[in-house]
Every structure is written in structure tokens, then in C-alpha cells.
Homo-oligomer: A and B are copies of this chain.
Amino acid sequence: MAEKTIAVLTSGGDAPGMNAAIRAVVRTGIVKGFRVLGFMRGYNGLINGDYMEMNLRSVSDIIHRGGTMLYTARSPEFKTEEGIQKAIETCKENNIQGVVVVGGDGSFRGARDLSQRGINCIGIPGTIDNDIACSEYTIGFDTAVNTCMQAVDRIRDTAQSHDRCSVVEVMGNNTGHLALHSGIGCGATCILVPEVPYDLKKDVVGRILSYQGTGKKHFIIVVAEGTCNTNALAIQIQALTNIETRETVLGYIQRGGSPNAKDRVVASQMGFRAVELLAQNIGNRVIAMKDGKILDYDITEALGMQKPFEMDLYNMAHDISI
């Protein structure tokens, strides 16, 4: 009789800590008696049967690496019934009873579709944007927050030396979580996010001019992508305050780098939990963090949740950045 087998793959945008999740899935799986296969480039690997057999040493020395050793991709083909059927075929051929998918909402929809067709799937939230509704934390967020913050720490040096205003655009996939936490961390004068409307003259220019009156000479404005045109914003601020203003779009540096401790620890916990569920023959669940603890939800239920924006934290941030 064929050996009981589980699969692991990473899907969607990469995030620091995905390797730690893969490592936990592989090791926990092997300890629990599973054969473990790592599928390459997300659902594409499942469709094409592109995998590597994993042993304990396959995941040695990866916990501290950014990116994902299994590569990642978005898979349009998997959104078709034909693609899903190919994936199921691959699972049957390899006697795969369960699949762990590390990714975002799109990846979870795929995991739900597979689960509904009889392959137990467990989703693990992995994205730097922390924009998955069911979980207060997603793997990669802490590393990205610190990457953004340290980048702004550098920009601050030159803004300060030149008495300038710096407008810094960070990622977030049209949410403000990354901007909020990195903005507090770098002591930004203003944090602009899609969730909170703002008035340029009052909330940005007014703040700058008012703090200038207290002796402040350099200013940091952190903007979440999708909030506004940051280049236009920088030009407006300079025009309205007469303070030299420069814009930086942080770009892809935010997605890479060795994961911070939190991402390594949480990814380990979530990977471990995912295999525990599969070992109990449970599927169609997504692992999440709530009140700092690891738990799991039905995928459909999870996909229907709404993520609140931390308004108290947002208000506090502006109360002390003066």
C-alpha cells in the first residue's frame, strides 16, 4: 500500500518566513509518519506534477532565508475546472491526502476548491500586508514592518541633515496595516492610509506647519500604496509649506530579507498546527492568530470575515507624533 503523503506549497506573493513554515510542515509531517512532497511554484506545481521529495535535511538551513525555497506563482490555470482536475490527478497519483498552502486569500480560495473535491487542504496566512481578515497576524508582516521602518530611519538621517520633508510610500495591497505600524515605529508626522480619509490642508500641511512652530524642521510622511499619488502629494506639500520635499517609493525591498524572529516563530507554530489537523483527517481550514494564540477557521467562514483597521492605534500615533 502506498505511503500516506502530504504536500506543501507556497502561493501568491512571497513573504519572509514562508521557509520557516515549509520547514515546520515537512518536519512535523515526517515525525507523524507522512511522506512529504514540496510542490514548486504554487498550484502550478500541483497541476504539472512538479515536486521534490522532502526529507528532514531538505529543510536544513532555510529558517533564516527570505523568499521561498519552493518558489511561488499565481496560477490562472488553477482557477479553471480543468486545472483543478489536473491537480487532483497529481494528488491521486502520489497518494496525497492533504495539502498545506501558504499564501493569501486567493490561495485559500484554491484550497477551499480542492477541499470540496476531497483533498484536505489547510491554508496558512503568509503575506507582508497583514490583510487577511481571519487572522490578526500574517507571516512576513513583522519583517516587512521593520524593513520599512529601518529604511525610513535611513531616510530620516538625510531629511534631518537637509531640513526636508520626506514622503515615503510603503506597500500594503490597498490596506494601511504596514503603513500604520512602520509609521508609528519611525515616528512619522502623518500616516496616510486608504482606510482613513484625510484633508491635505488640515491633516498634512496643517500638522507640518503647526509642528514647525515648535521647532521641528524635518518631517516624515508615510503613505500606504493605493492611498494617493505620492509624487503629487510631495509636490503639493512642498508648494503649500515651502519645505523642500522628496519622495521615495520603497518598492520590492519590502518583500525580501531574512525573516525576523516573530515570523520564524509564528510560521513554525502555524506549520506545526496545519499538519496536526491533517493528521486528524481535517481539511478546509485556515490557521489564524487571535489574541496572540494560534487557532483555525473554516475556509469559507474565514474568507467572509472583515478585517477592522486599528483606529485606536492610528489615533494614538498622531497624538504623539507632534
Contacts and interface: CB of A to CB of B under 8 A. Distances in A.
Interface string A203-216: 00000000100111
Interface of A: 10, 13-14, 16, 18, 23-24, 27-28, 31, 41, 55-57, 60-61, 63-68, 71-73, 136, 142, 145-147, 149-151, 153-163, 166, 181-182, 184-187, 211, 214-216, 246-253, 255-258, 260-262, 264-265, 268-269, 271-272, 291-293, 313, 316-317, 319-322
Contact of A155 (B23, B252, B264, B292): B252
A187 B261 contact: no
A272 to B, nearest CB: 5
Given A181-B265, A185-B261, A257-B154, A28 B319 contact: yes
B158 A14 contact: yes
B149 A261 contact: yes
Contacts of A68: 161
Contacts of A158: 13-14, 66-67, 252, 255-256
27 contacts: A16-B157, A18-B161, A24-B320, A28-B320, A31-B320, A56-B211, A57-B214, A64-B153, A64-B156, A64-B186, A67-B160, A71-B161, A71-B163, A73-B163, A136-B292, A147-B154, A154-B252, A155-B252, A155-B255, A157-B257, A159-B252, A166-B252, A181-B265, A250-B251, A250-B253, A253-B253, A291-B293
A73 B181 CA distance: 31
Contact of A317 (B159, B163, B268): B268
Instruction: Kindly report how many copies of this chain are found in the complex they form together.
Output: 4
A166 B252 CA distance: 9
Contacts of A162: 14, 71-73
